[in-house]
Structure 1
Amino acid sequence: MTLLIFGFRNNAGVMFCPYQQTEDGIEMQFATNHLGHFLLTKLLLDKMKQTAKDTGIEGRIINLSSIAHVYTYEEGIRFDNINDEDGYSDKKAYGQSKLANILHTNELSRRLQAEGVNITANSVHPGVIMTPLMRHSSLLMNFLKMFTFFAWKNIPQGAATTCYVALHPSLKGVTGKYFRDCNECQPSTHASNELLGRKLWDFSNKMINSLSKA
């Protein structure tokens, strides 16, 4: 069976970094891991829709999330103080950004389905991989690796789930799902909250629109 697809992957950029803001004044992990992906997707989406319509080929969008999405702030997303240093936790802020990846994916999928567009959107947890992404917590990660070495993946193993979701014929038309170890999994309660996803979508749109006017 030959499956023709096209698409792109949004990957994380920073993890567990000390509190800092981007040049635009946005908390670094939220801006890098979610908002940048949200904006890139928005900029490419019309072209993807047109390509899917003109060619009949399925488009696939993949957001790299993490199992860390379960460890976030109590409210899930700190909409009222997203950029505040007060109460900032490097671990929870990372979890917040990874939760945002799943919420973004699910809401995007819902909108694409409502339009009847031949594009799917899914999120994945690639696994625990020792890469420079963990440079802000290298001592902690090396310590944990001593006791959990069997659970760590090399880079090809870490890429497996992403490649599976991007390329496997059995996932044709499958959208709005969260995958781990090449299997569909149930994300956290926050990640499954449709209202939270719609709120994040509107919140993210307002943020990027305000930046474009600045």
Structure 2
Amino acid sequence: MAGDSWNHEDMPDQSGRTIIVTGANSGLGYEATKAFAREGAHVVMACRSLDSAHTARDEIREAVDGASLEVMELDLADLSSVRSFVDAFEREQSELHVLCNNAGVMAIPRRETADGFEMQFGVNHLGHFVLTGLLLDRLEETPGETRVVTQSSGVHERGDIDFDDIHHEETYDKWDAYAQSKLANVLFAYELDRRLRVANASVTSVACHPGYAATNLQRRGPEMEGSTLRLWAMRIANTVVAQSSEQGALPMLYAATATDIDGGDYVGPGGFMGMRGAPEKQRSSDISYDTERSRRLWMVSEELTAISFDLPSAES
């Protein structure tokens, strides 16, 4: 079921399942965590700020009786933190049913991660690339079908991958950098799916986008720039145009739990211009289906992060 009817109440029972949500302390991640917990899942809240995550955990526990939640530190802007998170998770959990690559930064002034990557590309794509690679064995070892859900954005449609200046060291436009990182999310999700299929793996890779949802994501850029005008414009747009974070989380929830999801699907809101409405399967940008570009991005990502997936290469 999808289109104009699917909502939180249509989620299958998640009892006995373990789900990781990155960026679970606010916005889409917070709402997804609450929904997963309501359906009985054990949710690992993978967050950079432990204080914020603990506050979010306590709020969800107040709203959801018996919510099974665990806060763990994860800073996607530092690959050593990603490795530490995976080590800690695997010591505590024997199974992983769904990995939601949700956390991200949007349209911020140019910054670099601890490993020297442009921040938006580093956090939105490379951090999740490494996280997925390190958790892939646990996903494959877990009985039944497991999923990797990677959160993109409709902004990916204006993006391309600048392989000659992938960290935007020569020129930097915050929206071009964001669009590149969000296109990278879709290219990664599709390439991962192709390689999983060749390997006959039980893991499914899916991409999604929330449409235009009112979250804290839009605030960070204007706040970092000290732009009061942009901050007020964002607040007005969120009030007038955006759907709620709860609604914006539906595509991720659908991608993570719906029974009719196939590997390589792209899920987003089915309403006005793909910005709001109930989730449905959609087509992403033409460039996102370019297998040569996705394979090149995969190779570059492995080189930059020194992470190699134990998967065969997918042919076009």
Matched, 1:42 2:133: yes
- Counterpart of 1:25 in structure 2 is 116
- Counterpart of 1:137 in structure 2 is 222
Moved over 6 A (4+): 1-5
Identity score, percent: 36
Query: 2:213·2:238 contact (CA, 8 Å) conserved in 1?
Result: no
- Counterpart of 1:58 in structure 2 is 145
- Counterpart of 2:63 in structure 1 is none
Matched, 1:195 2:292: yes
- Counterpart of 1:179 in structure 2 is 267
Alpha-carbon deviation of 1:160?
0.9
Q: 1:150 to 1:21 in 2, by over 3 A?
A: same
Structure 2 distance, partners of 1:13, 1:165, is: 18
- Counterpart of 1:107 in structure 2 is 191
Paired AA for residue 35 in structure 1: L
Q: 1:148 to 1:15 in 2, by over 3 A?
A: closer
Alpha-carbon deviation of 1:23?
2.1
Paired AA for residue 112 in structure 2: Q
Mean CA deviation greater in 81-90 or 132-141: 132-141
Structure 2 distance, partners of 1:137, 1:128, is: 17
Structure 1 distance, partners of 2:237, 2:119, is: 30
Indicate the structure (1 or 2) with the bigger Cα radius of gyration.
2
Mean CA deviation greater in 41-50 or 123-132: 123-132
Alignment equivalent of 1:94, drawn from 172, 178, 183: 178
- Counterpart of 2:91 in structure 1 is none
Q: 1:61 to 1:141 in 2, by over 3 A?
A: farther
Alpha-carbon deviation of 1:146?
3.9
Structure 1 unaligned residues grouped into runs of 5+:
none
- Counterpart of 1:164 in structure 2 is 254
For normalisation by structure 2, the TM-score amounts to 0.59
Paired AA for residue 263 in structure 2: T
Q: 1:140 to 1:153 in 2, by over 3 A?
A: same
- CA RMSD of superposed structures (Å): 2.1
Higher RCO structure, 1 or 2 (CA under 8 Å, sep 6+): 1
- Counterpart of 1:11 in structure 2 is 102
Mean CA deviation greater in 108-117 or 182-191: 182-191
Mean CA deviation greater in 122-131 or 36-45: 122-131
Structure 1 distance, partners of 2:268, 2:211, is: 7
Paired AA for residue 156 in structure 1: E
Alpha-carbon deviation of 1:110?
0.2
Q: How many residues are treated as equivalent by the alignment?
A: 201
Matched, 1:152 2:242: yes
Structure 2 unaligned residues grouped into runs of 5+:
1-11, 18-96, 224-228, 270-278, 308-316
